[in-house]
A and B are shown apart, each in its own frame.
Chain A
Amino acid sequence: MNPFTFIANNSALFGVLGVNTILAYAVYVPLSMGQFQVAQPVFCAIGGYAAGYMAIHTDLSFLPMLVIAVVLTSAVSLVFTPMLLRLSGLFLGLASFVLVGLAAAVAINLNFIGGALGLYSIPVYISSKVIWIMAVVVIAVVVVIRRSRFGLAMRVLRDDPIAAQGTGLSAFRVNVYVFGLSAAIAALAGIAQAYRFHAIGPDEFDLSVILAALTYVIVGGLNNAAGPLIGSLVIGFLTNELGFLQNWQTAFNGAFLLVVVVFFPGGLTAIPGAVRTRLRERRTTPPGSPVVLQAAGSGAPAERVS
């Protein structure tokens, strides 16, 4: 069976994979850049609800609604920044977890956006192909940013915040941009969800969603822009193919995640780099030479002690 038929037959699966990939990138951006926050489902919700609400109550076409929803979500994210970005480290992660959980609980009570059922029968349809176009755009944006001066600023801030600030970099400003970017990408995921599946409700952005996204990002690897993509595809296919495990599937997911974190801390995308480094050592290390130091698992080049 050729791949195109496969994709056509499994359109819903690819739609879900697409949404997951976009959300994974929304989680990847702050995590890989040093900001351990997981509030993305909240922005997923805001984007998705906004898009759904506009679709139901107004007559705008797809692109304007998309733009408005994303801009709205980014604006709302700015409201959270002064509150959240004063925190650092684990506390920020904890606080963002709390916000996700509480936001889902609150959304159940807000009737103008559908309460516990959410918005449904959203009269817009975008195909899985469109979702993957969105995903490709997101990936391109992330890659471009990583290579830009801003990407450099983010990495410097992550690796040595004091030195970075010593050069005049404003940690707060960089963090705000990272937060806003992650919120915008999350909004895209929410919009994709709303328009592909015609419904969005509190189930789509509770704690389990963020835990799944974290899994994709970690399994994929944080040092490579392809990480979230690989992670969500691998886990998506595994989940799909291993349906026969039924109730034990969660256990499998847990065990898989544990194995990856313990043995491949750099994620699956770090494996080629690590393999390459090992081979290179084997080729270039003359027999009998002293100990070779190697950075653990991240695929960074080995240093030789000589």
Chain B
Amino acid sequence: MPGLDTVLQQLVYTIALAAAYGLFAAGFLLIFGVLDVLNLGYAFVFMICAIMCVWLTLQGIPLWASILMTIAVGVTLGMLTDVLAYRPILRLKSLIGGVNFGPVVSTLAMGQIIAAVTQNWFGTNLISFQVTEFPTKLYTIGSITITSVQIVVVVAAAVLLFGLKLVLSRTSFGTSVRAISQNRSMAESLGINTTRVVAGVWVLSSTLAAIAGICIAIMNRAADPTIGTNYELKGFIIVVIGGLGSVGGAVLAAVIVAVLETASALYLGGQYSDVVTLGAVIVILAIRPFGLLGVRRRTV
């Protein structure tokens, strides 16, 4: 039975992991909740940003500049997805069972394109930061160690997620976003420039993906093309568990998933964490099918 020290140390790691998951999930949830679109290309934006951040530093660009450039890339990809994969599909109503699956497929297509670009540009291997890139300070409290990177990531995630919540609830942009998610045509007839607001949502979502990617790259000191699919699945799981209710739901679910993962790795051995997660998903589907904090919505 692992001792208290190990548990506490794992707790530190879990919190950092939950922060990254939370960022990733929040971006995905934005698109899902507001636009009813299952953005299958989202994880690929995340992946290319993580890889790009590392690659840029390897080209000699200082870390802070790489981060900014990567965020710019994330913003651009968001706009591209909106223009290429979302807007053309909107005018065509391809509905199955009330679900407009056109964007699902077109975002998937975008994701494939991004994946191919990644593969050709960066190769398929893992790339890591140079050790000297950023000196990591270690803080020791009792017998547990916390790295400065973990602190930065957790603080950044907390600030961003809280900021997102404030934007959604306090600003006029946020109000427009919520209006559009409830009834798009009504919002439009009330004078809200839906095209512009939706573009903003796409940019916001992909920026979150970019920042999540940067955080993961920094925490693991490396990035490779497979993290896209891993995190995509985690993101979906978080949405299934947390539901469509709010940013808070995503954060709560992210914490739950992170805890499940690290706890099962600690107590049961690494290979069972997927089984545990599957069990959790099945339990949620059985007792609260729309997610823990989910609200049954008219269009979903």
Contacts and interface: CB of A to CB of B under 8 A. Distances in A.
B242 to A, nearest CB: 11
Given A89-B299, A90-B300, A254-B109, A265 B92 contact: yes
A34 B290 contact: no
A84 B84 CA distance: 32
Contacts of A109: 271-272, 274-275
A95 B299 CA distance: 16
B237 interface: yes
Contacts of A207: 229, 232-233
B105 A218 contact: yes
Interface residues of A, number: 50
B interface, over-half SS: helix
Contacts of B84: 258
Contact of B116 (A83, A87, A98, A250): A250
Of listed A99, A211, A258, residue having the most chain B CB within 10 A: A258
In which size bucket is the chain B interface? 35 or more
A177 to B, nearest CB: 15
B96 A106 contact: no
A91 interface: yes
B104 A258 contact: no
Interface of A: 31-32, 34-36, 83-84, 86-91, 93-95, 97-99, 101-103, 105-106, 108-109, 158, 207, 211, 214-215, 218, 222, 247-255, 257-258, 261-262, 265-266, 296-297
Interface of B: 32, 36, 38, 40, 84-85, 88-89, 91-94, 96-99, 101-102, 104-106, 108-113, 115-117, 119-120, 229, 232-233, 236-237, 239-240, 244, 271-272, 274-275, 277-278, 281-282, 285-286, 289-290, 299-300
Given A31-B101, A261-B94, 16 more contacts: A34-B97, A94-B38, A97-B38, A98-B281, A101-B233, A103-B278, A105-B278, A109-B271, A109-B275, A158-B96, A247-B120, A254-B113, A258-B109, A261-B106, A265-B92, A296-B93
